[in-house]
Amino acid sequence: MHPEYSKAMTKPLIVGITGATGIIYGVRLLERLKEAGVETHLVISRWGARTLVHETSHSREEVEALATAVYAPSDMGALIASGSFQAAGMVVVPCSAKTLGAIAHGVGDNLIHRAADVTLKEGRRLVLVVREAPLSGIHLENMLTVSRHGGVVLPPVPAFYQHPKTINDLVDHTVGRVCDQFGFEYPGIERWSGEMGVGIQSQD
pTM above 0.75, yes or no: yes
Give the model's pLDDT for residue 106. 95
Condensed to tens digits (0 to 9), the pLDDT of residues 43-60 reads 999 999 999 999 999 999
Mean pLDDT, rounded, of the chain: 91
Condensed to tens digits (0 to 9), the pLDDT of residues 139-166 reads 999 999 999 999 999 999 988 988 999 9
Give the model's pLDDT for residue 201. 44
Distance CA 21, CA 96 (A): 8
Which domains can be identified in the chain, with CATH numbers? Answer: 22-180 (3.40.50.1950)
Give whole-number Cα distances, 189 to 20, 106, 143, 154, in Å.
Answer: 24, 34, 27, 17
Q: How confident is the model at residue 186 (pLDDT cuts 50, 70, 90)?
A: confident
Give the model's pLDDT for residue 202. 42
